[in-house]
Amino acid sequence: MRVGAFLAAAMMSSAVPSAASPVLAVAVHVRPADRDALRRAVETSQTARLKQWRAQGLVTGFRLLFARYPDSGQWDAFELLQFRDEAALARWRKAASEPFVAKVLALAQSIETTPGEMVRREGGHSRHPAVLVIPYEVMVTPAEYASYLDGYTIPQFRGWMNAGVLDGYDIIMSSYPAGRPWAALITLRYRDDTALGRRDAVVQETRSALASNRAWKELADSKKNVRSEHALAVADEIASEGDVQ
């Protein structure tokens, strides 16, 4: 069966219908020697700024992450801002001008800002989660990829949530993916480090259980033709409020 055909079939039973809302995904890179200073800045000044933006109604939610390990080519701090609609994003641009406070900007070697849409989201209530951030290249249309998420990806996430290791996830699609490091970005909030340590075992258990479903198995067999996974980042959550919590 062609990829598009069974992706279209999966769309008939969409697991998580969701009205997409605008997001900005902002990655900050610093010198390894500046990571401690960056963490202090995001824990204090940047967190306060994000809470202020939400209190003012400029954002409906935010997530602020810090990479656990220095890693060439990976970000050190990552911020996800969610907006009610495009008009709200325009108001934020006028009021805020920059996604990070001056203390962070002074340390930054480079910043990548990716406009996108939050296309799927569920759960996310742990106080001290271990977060995986996984970028993907996508080789099908956005509609086909959304069907793939509903038919293949989200059933696994729900299995991990039922197993008690995953508390929630966000799935973001880049609005302008050409030349960008990713077209789709998934954040997975594991309950704690112990839950993260069970990741591989729970993945295999869930996939074994789902393999008896013919539609899911066809999607699983096609995944190399749908998306390509890039290097993931392991992060701590510094702050989170609102729609992306």
Instruction: Give the model's pLDDT for residue 181.
Output: 87
User: In the structure, what pLDDT confidence band is assigned to residue 127 with cuts at 50, 70 and 90?
Assistant: confident
Helices (H), 122-183: 142-148, 154-162
User: In the structure, what pLDDT confidence band is assigned to residue 244 with cuts at 50, 70 and 90?
Assistant: low
Task: Name residue, tokens 């009021």.
Answer: 95
**What are the residue boundaries of the structural domains of the chain, listed by start?**
3-242
| Rounded alpha-carbon distances, angstroms, from residue 169 to 17, 118, 166, 194 | 14, 11, 8, 18
Least Cα distance to 79 among 23, 128, 121, 37 occurs for: 23
Angle at 14 between CA 223 and CA 118, to 5 degrees: 80
* pLDDT tens readout for residues 148-159: 999 999 999 999
Give CA–CA dist 120/58, Å, rounded.
Answer: 21
At residue 232, the 3 state secondary structure works out as: coil
Q: Regarding the domain delimited by 3-242, which CATH topology (the fold level of the hierarchy) does it fall under?
A: Alpha-Beta Plaits (3.30.70)
Instruction: Give the model's pLDDT for residue 123.
Output: 87
pTM of the entire predicted model: 0.88
Beta bridge partners of 132: 188, 234
For residue 175, pLDDT beyond 90: yes
